[in-house]
Amino acid sequence: MASLIVNSALVYGTIGAIFAAPFVWWGAGRIDSAAARGTIGFRILILPGAVAFWPLMLWLWIRTSADPQ
């Protein structure tokens, strides 16, 4: 059981890390206009949150991309 939990966390974190890099550079600016003007330091700060909350960030990114502005 412990092995399943650890492996699940590893898969979740790996997917989050793969998702976070493009999200931090392109997706955050699509979701929030203030993030589009963010510095490199800001992008480094939001990286761990993007890894941890990647399903929510993906949903917001898709939802915002689908809305014509």
User: What are the tens digits of pLDDT across the range 15-61?
Assistant: 999 999 999 999 999 998 889 899 999 999 999 999 999 999 999 99
Written in H, E and C, the secondary structure of 11-50 is HHHHHHHHHHHHHHHHHHHHHCHHHHCCCHHHHHHHHHHH
Instruction: Give pLDDT, residue 33.
Output: 87
On the question of pLDDT at 68 being above 80, the answer is no
Residue ranges of the domains in the chain?
A: 2-66
Q: How confident is the model at residue 69 (pLDDT cuts 50, 70, 90)?
A: low
